[in-house]
Amino acid sequence: MRSENTPPSEAAQQSQADAFDKTKFSLTDPASPWLVVNKKRILSPATYAPTDLTTPATQLKSAGTSTDMQVRAETARALESMIAAAKNENINLMLASGYRSYNTQNTIYNSEVRAYGQATADKESARPGHSEHQTGWAADVGATNRKCELQACFADSAEGKWLAANAHSFGFIIRYPKDKTAVTGYTYEPWHVRYVGTDLSNQMYKENIETLEEFFNLPAAPDY
């Protein structure tokens, strides 16, 4: 009899993977939690805006009246649960950035291009119509002390380590993992979480697959 601590065999893992229904939700509908938007996959329509934006009842970086402190209602509930669970373990997280409209993303992207050049901008900022923030399913999470905010060093903080280890339990994945730029097109963003629901986040965790592109067997999107 297999001990509870013994990892499942490769055959058992494959059986679990085969049993998972990858067609349950759309990969193209912006209202779907499994939507995959990247440099090769533009939102349709490109100016799409969610209809259920709400401000999560949790720690926020700025005033709750700001649109970038809003996310979809389902994302908000998951953020509330995750941030509360973290607080119970003395980990203090906050929403640093949520929804961005097409026009806001256009402004941010063009500012990055002017400051750093297009090649660098394309590794750090999505073009309008290609941004996860525009969907309302994504959020940038930071420490309430604001150390390493939106920086790679967040990964080495207690808050970043907790997020990496526990996000999947609340339906989130780290959307732009380390060493996956050739797949996602973006540099490592340990603070950027994407809500996909617990069914998918836990399945990806079980299979040790980090990106949506790899899980759904989609082409890599290193560039436009």
pLDDT band, very low/low/confident/very high, at 13 (cuts 50, 70, 90): low
Looking up tokens 């970038």, which residue turns up?
68
Q: Is residue 124 flagged as an active site residue?
A: no
Distance CA 207, CA 13 (A): 7
User: What are the tens digits of pLDDT across the range 156-178?
Assistant: 999 999 999 999 999 999 999 99
Distance CA 191, CA 189 (A): 5
Pick the catalytic residue: 159, 189, 210, 213? Answer: 189
User: What are the tens digits of pLDDT across the range 19-32?
Assistant: 899 999 999 999 99
pLDDT confidence of residue 1: 45
User: What residues form DSSP beta bridges with 53?
Assistant: 72
Q: Which of 10-24, 64-78, 183-197 has the highest mean pLDDT?
A: 183-197
Closest CA to 182 of 119, 121, 113, 123: 123
Closest CA to 188 of 160, 146, 147: 160
Q: What domains are defined for the chain?
A: 55-99+136-215 (3.30.1380.10)
